Structures are given as C-alpha cells and as structure tokens.
Amino acid sequence: MDGRSELEIKAKIRLRLLAIDKILNDRLGEEKAKELRQRIWQDLGKKNAAKSGISKPTVSMKDLYGDA
C-alpha cells in the first residue's frame, strides 16, 4: 500500500467517525454523547492494558472535543 492510498483510507475513516459523532450528538444530546465517548475510551484502555495492540490515547477528551 502506498502512502497516498493509506492517507485516503485514514481520511475516509476520520470522516465516518465524525459523521457517527454528529449522529450521537444529535440523537443523545451533547452530554450523553460525551459520557458514551468516555466509557468507550475507558473500555479500550482496559482491553489494551492486557495486550499491546492499540495504545491508549494520550490526549484528553477535553482537548479532542474542545470542552476546555
């Protein structure tokens, strides 16, 4: 896989994640969606503590979603 197609795949994934995030906010409301995101990151962190797959994110949720 060349660098360009890899970047295109990453961009498509990010766009889909943003679309999912928008739907969560629209359907659940901003506060419930934020709680759900935090639980997902916590669950991912617990699973990754047992194996060395994807590392736990080092950016806080406040930095990601501008809740500062």
Q: What is the pLDDT of residue 21?
A: 87
Q: What is the pLDDT of residue 68?
A: 44
Q: What is the pLDDT of residue 43?
A: 85
Which helix (H) or strand (E) covers residue 30, if one does?
helix 30-50
Question: Per residue of the chain (68 residues), what is the pLDDT tens digit?
Answer: 577 888 899 999 999 988 988 998 999 998 998 898 888 888 887 766 665 555 555 555 565 565 54
Q: What is the pLDDT of residue 2?
A: 72
Domain-by-domain residue ranges, the chain?
3-65
Q: What is the pLDDT of residue 16?
A: 92
CB-based contacts of 34, cutoff 8 Å, min separation 6: 61, 65, 67
